[in-house]
Structures are given as C-alpha cells and as structure tokens.
Amino acid sequence: MEAQVLKDIPLLTKDDFKSDQMVKWCPGCGDHAILSSVEKVFPQLGIRKEDFAVISGIGCSSRFPYYMNTYGIHGIHGRAAAIASGVKIANPNLSVWVITGDGDSMAIGGNHFIHVVRRNIDLNILLFNNRIYGLTKGQYSPTSPKGIITKTSPDGTFENPFNPGELVIGAQGTFFARTIDNNPKMMVNVMLEAAKHKGTSVVEILQNCVIFNNNTHELVSSRETKDDNQILLEHGKPMIFGKNKDKGIICSGLKLEVVKIGENGITEEDIIVHDQYSEDPGLHAMLARMTPPYLPMAMGVIRAVKHETYNDALDELIEYKKETSPYKTVDDLLTSGNTWEV
Amino acid sequence: MAKNKLTKEREDVVVRFAGDSGDGMQLIGTLFSDSTAYAGNDFATFPDYPSEIRAPQGTIAGVSGFQVHFGHSDIHTSGDKADVLIAMNPASLKANLIWTKSNGIIILDNDAFIDKGIEKAGYETNPLEDNSLTGYNIVNPPISKMTLEAVKDLDLPNKVALKSKNMFALGVVLYLFNRKLDSTNEFFETKFKSKPLIIEANKRVLKAGYLYAENVEAINLTYNVKPAPLKKGLYRNITGNLATAWGFIAAAERSGRKLFLGSYPITPASEILQELSKHKQFSVKAFQAEDEIAGVCSTIGASYAGSLAVTSTSGPGLSLKSEAIGLAIMTELPMVVVNVQRGGPSTGLPTKSEQSDLMQALYGRNGESPCIVMAAGSPTDCFFSAYESSKLAVEHMTPVILLTDGSIANGSEIFRIPKVASLDEINPPIVEANDKDFKPYKRDEKTLSRQWALPGTEGLRHRLGGLEKENITGDVSQNPENHQLMVKLREEKVQRVKNYIPEQDVVGADSGELLVVSWGGTYGVMLTAVEQLRKNGMDVSLAHFKYINPLPKNTNEVFSRYKNIVVCELNNGQFVHYLISKFPHYKYESFNKIQGLPFMVAELEEKFKTILEKNNK
C-alpha cells in the first residue's frame, strides 16, 4: 500500500494499535519484538486506523491479529493469503497485512503463497520464519535445515528446505525483503518499505523459537558472528559487510563470491552495487539464496519492482466496463438477447 | 406449407438431436429451441454430452445430444423418450435408440451408414438393412451429399461445406413441425456477420433440408403444437447455471452490496464463474482462485470486507471447502456456497447428475457446524434460489449451501423475466459507524444473527477467527459453559430461519392415500408425474422441498395428513434418512435412482401406481 499522507488523519501512536487482549507468546519469543515493530510502523503510514486489516492463518505467529487493535481475521491453517486476497480485492482501500509462519505459508499454504505473489495483489506479507512447528510443539518445517533433529525427524531430516526468497522470485514476486527479530530498527525500516510497495510485499523475518528451535539463526543473530554472516543490502550502495567493513560481494562468472577489499588488487570499485529495482530477477535470486557460512545472509530489501497490481488492473477494468457496457441495470441484463413477449 | 400432407395436432413433443461431439448438435438444439420460443410453446431442454471434449470420432463415447421438449401445456421436464430422433451417424443412433419411442421418427444421414462408421459404432450389420429398425419411421436422406450439392457453386472446400450438414437436419425438423426458417436465418446473419459465404452456405443447406422434407414421401404427416397459454410477460430461455449467476447479480443490486465470487473451474459449475466474469459493469468481482480452498477462503475475506460473497463448485470441490465453511460458521459471516451436484464419490460422473451431496451439505464439517441448506427445483428456480440464498445469508449472517445439479444447471426452460424491483427486499444488518453498543457477537433478539461491521468503518475495529468466541464480546474463549452456549446459539440461529421461509406447500389434495416427497432438481419430473396421475383420478399428492435445513415448520403436520409417504431422490436415500432422523414416527418408502440420469415420468408413475395398488389390497 502506497503510504498516502492524508491531512485529516489524526496523529496516531503505538497505543492506537494495542489490543486489550493478553499477549500469550512464550517469554523470550521473537514474536514480541515483531509485534512491537508493527505497532511502530502502522502509525507512520498515514493510513486511518480503521483501514488496516490484519489477516493470519494458524500457528504461533497467527495469533497476531488478536493483539492488534485493527480489523482482523485469525483464519485457518495455510489460508491467510487466500482470505486476505478476498479482503483486498473486495475493498482495495484497506491496508491488508498477512501474518504467517513457515509452516503456514510454506507447507499447508504453499499453493496460496506462490499464487498470491504471482498475482501481485497489494498485500504485505510478514513471514515469521523460525524453521520449526512451534504451536504443535516441535516438528520440522519446510524451512528446517537438512539434518535437524526434531520430534518427527529423530534421525535428522533428509528433506531439502525451501528458501522463501527463491519461491517469491520464482513466482515472479515484485517485492522481497529479509530482516531479523533481534534488530528492531531494521525490522521497522523493512516493514516501512514493504508498506510503500504497491503489490505483494513479502518480508521474511528470521524469528527465534526459544522453546523448540532456540538459536536457529545464531550465525546471523549473535553479537559475535552476525557482522561476518549478514549483509544489509541498500539500494545504490556497494555490497560491503564484515566487522571491519572490509568484505564485499563480487560476481565471479555466474557465481557470487566474498572478497576482501585491499587483497589481490580488489578495490571498492569491484564490489557489486545493489539495485533493488532491477527488472531482471537473476541477481536478486542469487542474493536471496546466499547462506552462511559461505556467503553472508542478505538482509534488507532484495527486490522491489513496479508492476501493475491485480486489484488495480481489476478496478480499471471495472471502470472501463461501467462506461462501455450496454447494461446499466440488472433489468437490462435480464432482458438482453433473445426474448419474446407473450 | 405442406402440400397434400396431413397435419396432426399434438399436446407435446420430444425431439432429440444426436451426433458426433463435433457435429454441432448443441447448436441446432438451441436453434430449434429458439424457433420453439417464437412458435409460442412452453419448452425445456437438456444437453447430454460426454466428459471428453472430442472423444474419437464416430464412436459411442463421442456422441453428443440435445433434447427439446415442447408443448401446448405447461412443460416441466426435458421429456422422457423422444418422438423424433436426429442421428447424424451410426454411433449416435446406437446410443440413442433406447431414448426413442418405439414408433418414433428417426432422421439419419444415410451417407454416414458406411462400413467404417457402422463398425466404429459397434454394429455387426448395417442397422438400416437388418430390420432392427422395424416399427420406427425412418427418414434417411444422403445428408452429406445433399449438403455438398446445395453449396457446390460457392467454391467452399468440402470440409468447410460439410460443417453445415447439421443445418440440413435442422431444416427437416423445422418442416416437420411447420416452423418458419426466419429465426434461424437471422441467427446466421448475426453469427457469421463477417463471413457472407458461410451465411449463404448455412441458409442454403437449411433450406435444402426443409425442401427435401416437403418433397419426400417418407414424411407424410407434419405436426402442429399450439402455443401454450402462458402468463403474460416477457420471456427468455435460460439454463440453471446462467439463472444462478444472474440471481446473484440481482441480489447484489437489491442488497446494495458488491458481488464477489471466489471460485475454481469444475464441471458442471464452471458456467457460473464464466458468466460472472463477464459482468464487471456491475462491479462484479469474479476471482478465479488457484484451488477450491482459495475460492472459498477469498470469499470469506470478501464477506468480511462487506461483499455479497459467493463461491461455486461441484461435489469434490465442496469436500475441499469443508474446513473453510466451518470458519464462516464460526465467524458468522454471510456466504453462499453453490454446489452443482454431479455423480460421485470422488471424480465420479462429472457430466452426469445426482443428488448425492445432501449429507455432505448438511453434515460434512468438523464440529457442530449447522448452516442453511436449500435446493433449487428447476433451471428458472435457480435464479430465485440464488437470490433467496443471498438474502438469507446476509440477513441471518450465516453461510448457505445452495444445491443445484448437473441436470438443471445445463438444462433450460423458459423464464418469465421478473423486474428486479419486484423481488423481496434484502436488508443486511450493517452496523453504523461509531455505534457505542457494537459488540461483535451481540445478537438480534429475533433472528439471533450478529451484525456486520465492515472494515474501514470508524469505531468498529474487531477481530474474528476460528477459535471459539465468547458470547457477545467475541473474545477468544475456552470457557466450557460458553462453548456449549455458543454451539446452541449457532444451531438455534439456523433453526429460526424457519420463521422467514414459506411453509411447505402440497400439489394435490390436502390429505389422502399417498404423499410423494422429493427435493431439489427433480421438481419438474415429479410435478409432471403427479399431475398426470391425478388427471387419471389417482390419490397422489406432492410435497417438493426447497428448504432442507431448516425444514419448513409445517413439515411434520403435512406428513401427518397422508397414509403413505414415498421419498424419491437421485441417490441412495439421503433425504429419507434425514427425514427419519427428524420425524421417526412415519413409515417412509423410498424410490431411488443412482444412474447419473434424471427420473423418467413413466417410471415414477409406475412406482406410484404400484404403491397405491399394494395398499389397496
């Protein structure tokens, strides 16, 4: 939803969006920080508080709508994207947010996920990826790393995990960003970008499940390792990262590679400059795929391209048909074609 | 018209067009229907086509048919057996002979009865030569040759010219019933506007068929069916699926809500999605979802956002939608689920009709999950049922499952076009902005329905969901007493719909020997059978049900007035089981047909006679 700054909207604060319900996530769960970030983002969008709808599926993350004082639906497992599609198509004035988890959107709701992305319906999808089924108490999910031991993989999983970013780009997605639950500033910035984007925005939030999959994102989250294992992509800036800001990404043949600036004749000039608006999704896909420890995890907005949205295209057609159709009322339709008087 | 030939008056006639699925039988069936409309007859039609798009040419699997039943009096069905069969090849003769009266007229393309065609149809000998057609009145012009002859100076390739041969057959039939060629010729003019050669070819072939019939001795009698004494008004021909789609458009206009359809293509329901996709000028949003589940879930989302929300499907699709229908029941959001029933289970008989999803509609969900279930009776009733199901859904804030079936969905009958303003008002319980008393699950005292608070409205922010809700506040609640209360409230809300639907009426006597009970798409055939028996002085009455859950409030009282009850349905006895569970004190007899085919008037009459005789002994 393009942030429309409307003058008659009273200044909103975080408190306008807090619901009266007790938040029941486990202490230490990454969801608390995400909730707090969303509460910070909504008042900044210039949208009336009545014009937000928060739609979820099933899972720990999907309790989210109950904790937001907006319109909302806590749906059924996997179907948040489909329910939200209906809400947005029916009323395009609403800013519709989908809250989903890796089980909800990558497994049972995988089909709806790729199709909503393909259609480019103007929704903001926050995908909480903790790589585990939390609400059902600890089974592996479609994003669990290969080999992980869980209740349903006592000998380690032997399934390949999905990378949500690759799915988004493969489904012709127009917006994909990644952030992490222990960096509120980054979360807020990325969510603001997602809100601004017209089309389906997918934000993967690396989220920690303190009970069933603690520290699953440790390499990119811990104070000691994160600088060398994540890179914050910023449009128009070279892809430089590391504790000492001396590492960079270059394209070597058809592969991405980490290099050290100042070594082997490498200068800042050799480092790729991030272009989030590039129509060609090739490099975006490679960036989304980068995995530590070989390559740093790409954070921030990876892809943001402008395409017509489903809801705009439909509304334009409706306006056009209203002007051109010979049927102005339903009576006109009923009496059209072959009729005869008795 | 007919020179030196006799014309015979007939009350009603059944004509069946059959040919290869590429032969254009649906087209000439429709054109014949149009000419029937101009002749002022009442009529009903039914297409019968294979589930394959183009099965191997010349085989039984590839036979496509179209039946038209027209008459001087009220026509309620597409007819039992045909008085006239048009069979464009041996396979269509073989497949349709059993649907033809033993003294019927059969019009054949003699050119198609060659060795190859005969063999492909599975005949051992040529049926035109082995006396197997004795008793029938055979008219077998060399249709292919005469078609080519009629257009020979137009320089069309043979393949193109032969496409018109269906018009030769139509010409013969139009002559047979003393019809004019005008309406058909007008059709050519519009349809092939930019192709004058094709217009000319079709006109010539149609006329050739007509003249052939006039000149040959094989046709020594033509038939005249007087106009039917229809109620004054503007009429059109309409299929059930078209009527369903239009009923929703009318309901949207009257309720002031925008229409949203979330749907996935499935036989025999796809036409509803196709039709609604055409009507963006009425702000209809037809969303072709990625699957049945997304169809119903987007519908729930659209309902929450304030649309008149509909999803359409057939049996297997209803199975997939079950969980989401439960969500709509829990969130108490209005929605209509149209199920155009087909033969099941599983993929079953996609292009054939059955009434076997009744139990699924009533009970096919987890938990205690009641919703309104109703069933349309005929193609035109689909319009009124779609309209009424929308009204019930929004006024009572509940999903409604509307059952139609393949027969009435594809079948057509004439429709007296109503004025939209004459239809019942629809008043959705929408909450005003900043209503201080608004609570998501506060209920209307009479209907028990909650209110509809639309996103975007000031002062009404609230959350819905599939978790059990606390009465009035709508907060999530695991409280044991609250759950029991909410289960009872949801059931009671649906039962109270009884007070808003008509009482069950009976065709026939107020009391008597035999009450025939039926529901849904069998209305026409039931009515015809019961009316005919009553004309013959038999004590038979009909209670045909449209409202299944809840049942009309006088149902028990109606049943109590008859000595015997027979429940007729196109399944293995689902409605009768439902009735037994509601009114176990009656003895029900059942009559079931599960062949993917509609009931025939004759078999119903036979059954009712047997019951009456048995009970009189």
What is the per-residue pLDDT across B24-67, written as a single tens digit (0 to 9) for each? 999 999 999 999 998 999 999 998 877 666 778 889 989 999 99
Show residues of chain B in contact with A76, CB under 8 Å: 297, 323-324, 326-327, 466
- Considering only alpha carbons, which residue of chain A is nearest residue B187? A338
Q: Which residues of A touch B37 (CB under 8 A)?
A: 338, 340
Residues of chain A found within 8 Å of residue B290, distances taken between Cβ atoms: 111-112, 115
What's the pLDDT band for B599 if we cut at 50, 70, 90? very high
Bridge partners of residue B310, in order along the sequence: B261, B336
Structural domains of chain A ordered from first start: 14-216+308-317 (3.40.50.970)
pLDDT of residue B187: 93
- Selected for mutation to probe chain B from A48, A66, A91 (highest B CB count within 10 Å) is A91
In this predicted structure, the answer to whether residue B211 has a pLDDT above a threshold of 80 is yes
- Note the ipTM here: 0.96
- Model confidence at B302: pLDDT above 60: yes
Question: What amino acid occupies position A261?
Answer: I
Residue-level pLDDT at B21? 85
Mean local confidence (pLDDT), B151-172 = 95
Determine the pLDDT at residue B418. 98
Q: Is the predicted pLDDT of residue A1 greater than 50, yes or no?
A: no
Of A90, A314, A333, the CB nearest to B246: A333
Taking the C-alpha atoms of residue A271 and residue A246, their distance in angstroms, rounded to an integer, is 11
CB < 8 Å from A in window 520-549 of B: none
Mean pLDDT of B263-270: 97
Q: Which residues of B touch A50 (CB under 8 A)?
A: 455-461
Q: Do B418 and A334 touch (CB under 8 A)?
A: yes
- In what side-by-side order are the strands of the sheet with B308-313? B285-288, B259-263, B308-313, B335-341, B399-405, B372-375, B547-549
Average the pLDDT over B211-227 and give the result.
Answer: 88
Using DSSP's 3-state secondary structure scheme, residue B511 falls into coil
- How much is the average pLDDT of A20-27? 94
pLDDT of residue B3: 55
- Cβ A19–B475 below 8 Å, yes or no? no
Global confidence as pTM: 0.95
Confidence category of residue B1, pLDDT binned at 50, 70, 90: very low
Chain A residues touching B462 at Cβ < 8 A: 71-72
Residue A69 region, left (φ>0) first, then alpha (ψ -120 to 50), else beta?
A: beta
Judged by CB atoms closer than 8 Å, whether chains meet at B249 and A342 is answered as: no
Which of A70, A79, A325 faces B297 most closely, judged by CB atoms?
A: A79
pLDDT digits (tens, 9 = 90+) for B305-335: 999 999 999 999 999 999 999 999 999 999 9
Residue A321 is nearest to which of B281, B294, B456, comparing CB atoms?
B281
Going by C-beta distance under 8 Å and a sequence separation of 6 or more, which residues neighbour residue B128? B108, B110, B113, B138, B140
In the predicted model, what is the mean pLDDT of residues A313-330?
Answer: 97
Lowest mean pLDDT among B349-353, B531-535, B555-559: B349-353
Q: A62 falls in which pLDDT band (50, 70, 90)?
A: very high
Q: What pLDDT does A2 receive?
A: 45
Interface of B with A in 243-302 (CB under 8 A): 246, 249-250, 253, 258, 260, 262, 279-283, 285, 287, 289-291, 293-294, 297-302
Q: Residue A6 — very low, low, confident or very high, per pLDDT cuts 50/70/90?
A: low
Measure in Å the smallest separation between the Cα of B578 and chain A Cα atoms: 30
Question: What is the pLDDT confidence band of residue A9, given thresholds at 50, 70 and 90?
Answer: confident
B42 near A CB under 8 A: no
Q: Mark yes or no for CB contact A21/B475 under 8 Å.
A: yes
**Mean predicted lDDT score pLDDT of chain B:** 95
- pLDDT band, residue B584 (cuts 50/70/90): very high
Q: Is residue A5 scored above 60 in pLDDT?
A: no
**pLDDT at A309 exceeding the cut of 90:** yes
pLDDT band per the 50, 70, 90 thresholds, residue A3 = very low
Under DSSP, is residue B13 helix (H, G, I), strand (E, B) or coil? strand
Query: Model confidence at B5, in pLDDT bands (50, 70, 90)?
Result: confident
User: Which segments of B86-195 does DSSP mark as H helices, in order?
Assistant: 90-96, 115-120, 143-150, 158-162, 165-176, 182-191
Of A74, A87, A93, the CB nearest to B302: A87
Mean pLDDT of A314-342: 96
Q: Are B304 and A86 within 8 A, CB to CB? A: yes
Which of B121, B114, B117, B118 is closest to B95 using CA atoms?
B121
Domains and CATH numbers, chain B: 6-224 (3.40.920.10), 236-422 (3.40.50.970), 512-616 (3.40.50.920)
Average pLDDT over residues A314-340: 96
The mean-pLDDT minimum among A1-10, A232-241, B231-240, B460-469 falls in: A1-10
**The residue type at B582:** K
Mean pLDDT calculated for residue range B463-489:
97
Is residue B385 within 8 A of residue B247, CB to CB? The reply is yes
- Binding-face residues of A in 132-161 toward B, CB within 8 A: none
Question: Which residues in chain B are contacts of A49 at CB distance < 8 A?
Answer: 461
Q: Which of B35, B42, B226, B282 to mutate to test the interface with A (most CBs of A within 10 A)?
A: B282
- Contact yes or no for A337 and B236 at CB 8 A: yes
The per-residue pLDDT for range B379-389, each reduced to its tens digit, is: 999 999 999 99
CB–CB contact A317 B280 (8 Å): yes
Cβ under 8 Å to B: A residues 297-326: 314, 317-318, 320-322, 324-325
CB contact under 8 A, A73 and B304: yes
Name every chain A residue with its beta carbon within 8 A of the beta carbon of B236.
334-335, 337-340
Mean pLDDT of B391-407: 98
One-letter amino acid for residue B238 of the chain = I
CB pairs below 8 Å between A and B: how many?
204
User: What value does the mean pLDDT of chain A take?
Assistant: 96
Give the per-residue pLDDT at B368. 98
